[in-house]
Structure 1
Amino acid sequence: MMYLPAIFYQETINYLSSRRFILSLLLIFLPAICGIWFSNMMYHNPSIIARMTGGWIVEVTPKICMMAYLDVAPLPIALTAIINASDFIAGEKQRGMLELLVSKPLHHWEIVVGKYLSFSLVFLVLIFIKLNIFNFALKFLGIGLIENRVLLSYIVALVLTGIVYTSISTLLSTLMRGVLAAILAGFLILIAWYVFDWMILYLPLSTSNTLEKFSLFYYIDNIIGYMSSGKAALLLRGGVSPKVSVNFFLKSLMVILGILSLLPIALSIIILQKKDTTR
């Protein structure tokens, strides 16, 4: 018998009625509100963006507003994923419920995948709403609307960022004994990856071309570049994405969805299975 739909439904109800959901709303929507406020300030006082860019940008457009917002947008998305996914297995351990769950006629993969899909679906909807609110707020302020294909590329980019950190945190949740330990481990990975992404921007070109293959945002930016036909702003790094070939787009998608997303989930299921058989 397939228990995945029941687990998915119950986990979704539990999440929507939990404190973690309230925290998720704050982490996702509060930065968007701050971004709207800052965009309004720049629009009415363009000298702000001129000073920030050394006179390189003097006109405030929807693309410029989104570029400024995307410098910080991935961070709360990643934090939301880490805080929630760290509770998937480690939380059940702390509550003494994991042994009860695995003693039922459930497959281990159903437990992991059910929790993962439940959170990911809600997460996707929240990110979609958040960016559309930001877009319509720019229109309301008189700045203008972001192009549909550019907006879609941003939605996909932030969703993929969230999926990667959700997958990694699910693996950490399986390895760690407590939720706090899993969150701290996820947070350290997040900081290390951010520092690495910033570091390679200032390295010699030959070195950065090699190291950027280990950067999450390198692959995210390739996807943004392809989906927006080179019209969208880059995540974290600033500037506008170059046009990307289909080959680079597919490779980037394979790395993110395969190595950085499906592999950690598969390892989580295997580890959970091994821990159960060694009891």
Structure 2
Amino acid sequence: MLVIELPAADLRFACSGGQVNTGKGGETKMHKASFTPERIKVVFFDVNETLLDPTSSFKQAFRSVWEDFSGRLARDGDTADWQDIWTTFQAEQKALRPPGNRRDFWSEQVKRNPAALAAALKKHGFRLGDTALEGFFGKVAEAQERSPVLFPGTAKALSALSQKYRLGIISNGIQTKQTARLRAAGQIPPIREENMFFSGALGCRKPDPLIFRHALERMGVRPNQAVMVGNSWTKDVLGAVHVHMNAVWFRSGRKQKHFRRKVGNMRIDVVENMEELLALFEL
């Protein structure tokens, strides 16, 4: 049955704060179609690190800002190739990663950026103070907002899925900012804005069950008629499973030993790219 509808205004004060079991169960090693239009009506997506690739947009923005910065250095007789700086910066990022961290979340990388760049520049004979480093990454963030990047195959995948399924978004963040990023990346259609559900508007953040239940209610489907696709095991996968939705764990660029996991008696497909995602829907 459908969940009971709660007005958006009430949801802000009704977040359950419920805990979700984070264990990962049994695994198998074969990809095959899991979902059909007869059984599944709606496919929900997360935004950052699922539709949008922050690593690629950051690299592009870093290059743009560095080349502007290095142009000023060249006038003073100094030179530095952006690729050399980038490679050293990446190595310093990795060196600063806390030992034992199995997942290196984007938010954690951002915190290490100034220290990593300072160390990289020092190896190339440059020094920037804290204010200059802050200004550099401020410009990188601005450039990244102007030019977000979709993961390869995203536009094609959304177009193909929209022919047989309704599409939606369930994402932590502010709707105006997230939709602006999608527009800048060239991808709002075929996802209708009324089918986008953001924590900033509801006052509930994934993995809180209420943001998922609200999205299901608004889309008029039962949990078993929907699939959540996202990069976060806890926020996207377990959040969806907690309300008995299907889920797909999207792990772009990370080589997988296993293509499926289990949470209780629910099977979770794991994909590395949009092509593998389409295969789950017989597309």
TM-score when normalising by structure 1: 0.27
Structure whose residues are more often strand by fraction: 2
Indicate the structure whose relative CO is greater, using CA pairs within 8 Å and at least 6 residues apart: 2
Structure whose residues are more often helix by fraction: 1
